[in-house]
Chain A
Amino acid sequence: KQEVTQIPAALSVPEGENLVLNCSFTDSAIYNLQWFRQDPGKGLTSLLLIQSSQREQTSGRLNASLDKSSGRSTLYIAASQPGDSATYLCAAYTGRRALTFGSGTRLQVQP
Protein backbone atom coordinates (compact mmCIF):
# COMPACT_ATOMS: atom_id res chain seq x y z
CA LYS A 1 0.00 0.00 0.00
CA GLN A 2 1.30 3.41 -0.99
CA GLU A 3 2.30 5.68 1.88
CA VAL A 4 3.16 9.34 1.44
CA THR A 5 5.06 11.38 4.01
CA GLN A 6 5.68 15.12 4.10
CA ILE A 7 8.42 16.81 6.06
CA PRO A 8 8.37 19.20 7.80
CA ALA A 9 4.84 19.27 9.20
CA ALA A 10 5.09 23.02 9.74
CA LEU A 11 7.46 25.73 8.63
CA SER A 12 7.73 29.42 9.44
CA VAL A 13 10.04 31.64 7.39
CA PRO A 14 10.58 35.37 6.85
CA GLU A 15 9.38 36.89 3.63
CA GLY A 16 11.80 36.60 0.72
CA GLU A 17 13.34 33.26 1.65
CA ASN A 18 13.63 30.40 -0.79
CA LEU A 19 12.28 27.20 0.68
CA VAL A 20 11.91 23.50 -0.02
CA LEU A 21 9.06 21.23 0.96
CA ASN A 22 9.67 17.50 0.92
CA CYS A 23 7.45 14.59 -0.05
CA SER A 24 8.39 10.92 0.01
CA PHE A 25 6.45 7.88 -1.16
CA THR A 26 6.98 4.17 -0.59
CA ASP A 27 5.80 2.71 -3.91
CA SER A 28 7.92 4.03 -6.76
CA ALA A 29 5.52 2.68 -9.40
CA ILE A 30 3.61 5.94 -9.59
CA TYR A 31 1.99 7.42 -12.68
CA ASN A 32 2.23 10.97 -11.47
CA LEU A 33 2.68 13.17 -8.43
CA GLN A 34 0.61 16.25 -7.79
CA TRP A 35 1.18 19.20 -5.48
CA PHE A 36 -1.77 21.09 -4.00
CA ARG A 37 -2.29 24.18 -1.93
CA GLN A 38 -5.01 24.44 0.70
CA ASP A 39 -6.05 27.62 2.45
CA PRO A 40 -7.78 27.31 5.85
CA GLY A 41 -11.32 26.00 5.52
CA LYS A 42 -11.09 25.75 1.74
CA GLY A 43 -10.70 23.06 -0.90
CA LEU A 44 -7.50 22.03 -2.64
CA THR A 45 -5.99 24.01 -5.49
CA SER A 46 -3.78 22.11 -7.92
CA LEU A 47 -0.33 23.68 -8.25
CA LEU A 48 1.78 21.29 -10.28
CA LEU A 49 1.47 17.84 -11.81
CA ILE A 50 4.65 15.89 -12.53
CA GLN A 51 4.21 12.91 -14.78
CA SER A 52 6.24 9.78 -14.12
CA SER A 53 8.39 10.41 -17.20
CA GLN A 54 9.27 13.94 -16.09
CA ARG A 55 11.87 15.10 -13.61
CA GLU A 56 10.48 18.53 -12.89
CA GLN A 57 7.75 21.05 -13.56
CA THR A 58 7.73 24.80 -13.12
CA SER A 59 4.99 27.36 -12.64
CA GLY A 60 6.04 30.90 -11.80
CA ARG A 61 7.95 30.85 -8.51
CA LEU A 62 7.18 27.17 -7.97
CA ASN A 63 9.32 24.29 -9.10
CA ALA A 64 8.57 20.67 -8.34
CA SER A 65 10.98 17.81 -8.91
CA LEU A 66 10.44 14.07 -8.97
CA ASP A 67 12.91 11.25 -8.34
CA LYS A 68 11.01 8.00 -8.66
CA SER A 69 13.97 5.78 -7.88
CA SER A 70 14.42 7.34 -4.46
CA GLY A 71 10.72 7.87 -3.86
CA ARG A 72 11.00 11.63 -3.42
CA SER A 73 9.52 14.86 -4.67
CA THR A 74 10.35 18.40 -3.62
CA LEU A 75 8.46 21.63 -4.04
CA TYR A 76 10.71 24.67 -4.27
CA ILE A 77 9.19 28.09 -3.60
CA ALA A 78 11.34 31.03 -4.62
CA ALA A 79 11.22 34.42 -2.94
CA SER A 80 8.41 33.48 -0.56
CA GLN A 81 5.61 35.98 0.12
CA PRO A 82 3.02 36.23 2.92
CA GLY A 83 0.39 35.19 0.36
CA ASP A 84 2.14 31.84 0.08
CA SER A 85 1.03 30.99 3.62
CA ALA A 86 -1.10 27.86 3.34
CA THR A 87 -0.90 24.10 3.73
CA TYR A 88 0.86 22.30 0.90
CA LEU A 89 -0.08 18.71 0.12
CA CYS A 90 1.50 16.21 -2.21
CA ALA A 91 -0.38 13.24 -3.61
CA ALA A 92 0.85 10.19 -5.51
CA TYR A 93 -1.22 8.40 -8.13
CA THR A 94 -0.50 4.71 -8.67
CA GLY A 95 -3.52 4.03 -10.84
CA ARG A 96 -5.14 1.65 -8.40
CA ARG A 97 -7.11 3.74 -6.00
CA ALA A 98 -7.24 7.44 -6.66
CA LEU A 99 -4.63 9.64 -5.03
CA THR A 100 -2.72 8.90 -1.84
CA PHE A 101 -2.08 12.08 0.09
CA GLY A 102 0.60 13.16 2.50
CA SER A 103 -0.44 14.90 5.69
CA GLY A 104 0.78 18.27 4.43
CA THR A 105 3.24 21.00 5.36
CA ARG A 106 1.74 24.08 6.99
CA LEU A 107 3.70 27.11 5.78
CA GLN A 108 3.69 30.52 7.42
CA VAL A 109 5.57 33.34 5.69
CA GLN A 110 6.20 36.25 8.04
CA PRO A 111 6.07 39.77 6.55
Chain B
Amino acid sequence: DVKVTQSSRYLVKRTGEKVFLECVQDMDHENMFWYRQDPGLGLRLIYFSYDVKMKEKGDIPEGYSVSREKKERFSLILESASTNQTSMYLCASSPTGANTEAFFGQGTRLTVV
Protein backbone atom coordinates (compact mmCIF):
# COMPACT_ATOMS: atom_id res chain seq x y z
CA ASP B 1 0.00 0.00 0.00
CA VAL B 2 1.09 3.53 -0.73
CA LYS B 3 1.89 5.40 2.41
CA VAL B 4 2.02 9.15 2.78
CA THR B 5 3.06 10.18 6.26
CA GLN B 6 2.81 13.65 7.73
CA SER B 7 5.09 14.32 10.65
CA SER B 8 2.47 15.66 13.05
CA ARG B 9 -1.28 15.18 13.53
CA TYR B 10 -1.63 18.30 15.68
CA LEU B 11 0.55 21.38 16.07
CA VAL B 12 0.13 24.54 18.10
CA LYS B 13 2.44 27.42 17.21
CA ARG B 14 2.73 31.07 18.15
CA THR B 15 2.25 33.98 15.78
CA GLY B 16 5.50 34.86 14.07
CA GLU B 17 7.11 31.45 14.46
CA LYS B 18 8.66 29.66 11.53
CA VAL B 19 6.79 26.38 11.09
CA PHE B 20 7.84 23.27 9.20
CA LEU B 21 5.35 20.63 8.08
CA GLU B 22 6.96 17.47 6.79
CA CYS B 23 5.58 14.87 4.42
CA VAL B 24 7.18 11.60 3.35
CA GLN B 25 5.94 9.10 0.76
CA ASP B 26 7.27 5.60 0.26
CA MET B 27 6.23 4.79 -3.30
CA ASP B 28 8.78 6.70 -5.35
CA HIS B 29 6.13 9.11 -6.66
CA GLU B 30 7.32 12.01 -8.75
CA ASN B 31 4.52 14.41 -7.78
CA MET B 32 3.84 15.77 -4.34
CA PHE B 33 1.29 18.36 -3.21
CA TRP B 34 0.32 20.51 -0.26
CA TYR B 35 -3.30 21.54 0.26
CA ARG B 36 -5.07 23.34 3.04
CA GLN B 37 -8.66 22.59 3.96
CA ASP B 38 -11.00 25.06 5.60
CA PRO B 39 -14.72 24.85 6.34
CA GLY B 40 -16.72 26.36 3.50
CA LEU B 41 -13.65 26.75 1.28
CA GLY B 42 -12.81 23.12 0.57
CA LEU B 43 -9.33 21.98 -0.40
CA ARG B 44 -7.06 24.60 -1.90
CA LEU B 45 -3.71 23.89 -3.50
CA ILE B 46 -0.76 25.72 -1.91
CA TYR B 47 2.24 24.30 -3.78
CA PHE B 48 3.17 21.24 -5.73
CA SER B 49 6.35 19.60 -6.94
CA TYR B 50 6.84 17.31 -9.92
CA ASP B 51 10.49 16.49 -9.29
CA VAL B 52 13.29 16.97 -6.82
CA LYS B 53 14.09 20.66 -6.35
CA MET B 54 11.19 21.61 -8.64
CA LYS B 55 8.16 23.45 -7.33
CA GLU B 56 5.19 25.34 -8.64
CA LYS B 57 2.79 27.70 -6.94
CA GLY B 58 -0.75 26.62 -6.45
CA ASP B 59 -3.75 28.84 -5.85
CA ILE B 60 -2.79 30.23 -2.43
CA PRO B 61 1.03 30.30 -2.08
CA GLU B 62 1.27 33.58 -0.17
CA GLY B 63 2.90 33.16 3.22
CA TYR B 64 4.23 29.69 2.38
CA SER B 65 7.30 28.15 0.82
CA VAL B 66 8.28 24.57 0.11
CA SER B 67 11.36 22.42 -0.11
CA ARG B 68 11.97 19.17 -1.93
CA GLU B 69 15.57 18.07 -1.56
CA LYS B 70 14.80 14.35 -1.80
CA LYS B 71 12.20 12.60 -3.91
CA GLU B 72 10.36 11.11 -0.96
CA ARG B 73 10.12 14.25 1.16
CA PHE B 74 8.18 17.48 0.62
CA SER B 75 8.23 20.16 3.28
CA LEU B 76 5.84 23.06 3.71
CA ILE B 77 7.25 26.11 5.47
CA LEU B 78 5.29 28.91 7.06
CA GLU B 79 7.84 31.69 7.13
CA SER B 80 6.09 33.68 9.86
CA ALA B 81 2.97 31.97 11.11
CA SER B 82 -0.20 34.01 11.37
CA THR B 83 -3.58 33.20 12.88
CA ASN B 84 -5.19 33.05 9.43
CA GLN B 85 -2.96 30.06 8.69
CA THR B 86 -4.79 28.00 11.30
CA SER B 87 -6.09 25.14 9.19
CA MET B 88 -5.93 21.47 8.28
CA TYR B 89 -2.95 20.81 6.01
CA LEU B 90 -2.98 17.82 3.71
CA CYS B 91 -0.07 16.34 1.78
CA ALA B 92 -0.54 14.09 -1.25
CA SER B 93 1.57 12.24 -3.77
CA SER B 94 0.99 10.64 -7.16
CA PRO B 95 3.02 9.06 -9.93
CA THR B 96 3.53 10.90 -13.19
CA GLY B 97 0.95 10.19 -15.87
CA ALA B 98 -2.56 11.12 -16.83
CA ASN B 99 -4.43 8.23 -15.30
CA THR B 100 -2.80 7.85 -11.95
CA GLU B 101 -4.16 7.87 -8.47
CA ALA B 102 -3.37 10.46 -5.80
CA PHE B 103 -2.82 9.39 -2.20
CA PHE B 104 -3.13 11.56 0.87
CA GLY B 105 -1.56 11.69 4.29
CA GLN B 106 -3.54 11.79 7.51
CA GLY B 107 -3.45 15.57 7.77
CA THR B 108 -1.92 18.05 10.20
CA ARG B 109 -4.22 20.27 12.20
CA LEU B 110 -2.26 23.47 12.77
CA THR B 111 -3.39 26.07 15.26
CA VAL B 112 -1.61 29.42 15.36
CA VAL B 113 -2.20 31.39 18.56
Contacts and interface: CB of A to CB of B under 8 A. Distances in A.
Interface in A28-86: 31-32, 34, 36, 41-46, 49, 51-53
A41 B109 contact: yes
Give the interface residue-count category, chain B: 20 to 34
Given A32-B98, A98-B48, A43 B104 contact: yes
Interface of B: 4, 6, 31, 33, 40, 42-43, 45, 48, 56, 58, 88, 90, 92, 98-107, 109
B98 A43 contact: no
A34 B106 contact: no
Interface of A: 31-32, 34, 36, 41-46, 49, 51-53, 89, 91, 93, 95, 97-99, 101-104
Given A98-B33, A98-B45, A102-B42, A52 B103 contact: no
Given A31-B98, A31-B99, A49-B101, A43 B90 contact: yes
Instruction: Among B6, B48, B92, B102, find the residue whose CB has the most chain A CB atoms closer than 10 A.
Output: B102
